[in-house]
Amino acid sequence: MKGVILISGNGSNLQSIIEHADSIDLQISAVISNEKNAYGLERAKAAGIKTYFVDPKKFSERVDFDQELVKIIDSLNVELIVLAGFMRILSTLFINHFSGKVLNIHPSLLPKYPGLDTHQRAINASDKQHGATVHFVTRELDGGPIISQVVVNVDSHDTETSLAKKVLKKEHILYPKVIHWYTQRRLKLENEGSASLDGKII
């Protein structure tokens, strides 16, 4: 299945997806970044994948930026959009256009800690467990139907950095697995509140 990956930064999840691509039946048609110097673009180029940089500063409105994204993605004729550390909130226009085709990975056990600084927030709350969530993207920020989660234990000596590393290591296993469910056409967005795997509501 042809897919496109949207990034903003280092691209470690992107690297994991590139390395798993053949085994998860994914053909990465392009990597798109909203940050010119995102290291993930270098990872994509090294793997021979087409890259695009879309500069948000060129657009006065968020929806105009998103329309440019839609134009590029439509031209690639893909069936899946994977957000891998893409640090922009997507407009309703984008989400409606690609409804049921957009996956995201978020570094918390949603619905806990949507948004930023998730690891520090988990530490501040003295949580014993933390983790990551793969979900479908809908209009509510980090609020789309949860597909799968992975849990790590929070130790008393954990810092934001050490906890982030633990979670990221698990993300690199979780995300390709869920993407594979999608490329096998086992995974489906039913509505804004639910998803199904093998025909059963998750």
The one catalytic residue among 106, 119, 130, 135 = 106
**From CA 199, how far away is CA 202, in angstroms rounded?**
9
Q: In this structure, how many other beta carbons lie within 10 angstroms of the beta carbon of residue 189? A: 22
Dihedral over Cα of 20, 24, 30, 34: its sign: negative
**From CA 185, how far away is CA 188, in angstroms rounded?**
7
Structure tokens at 113: 């800690």
Least Cα distance to 106 among 80, 145, 60, 74 occurs for 145
DSSP 3-state assignment of 151? strand
Q: Note if 135 is an active site residue.
A: no
**From CA 182, how far away is CA 187, in angstroms rounded?**
5
- The string of DSSP codes covering 100-143 is T-EEEEESS-TTSS-SS-HHHHHHHTT-SEEEEEEEE--SSTT-
Report DSSP state, residue 56. G
Q: Which residues are catalytic?
A: 106
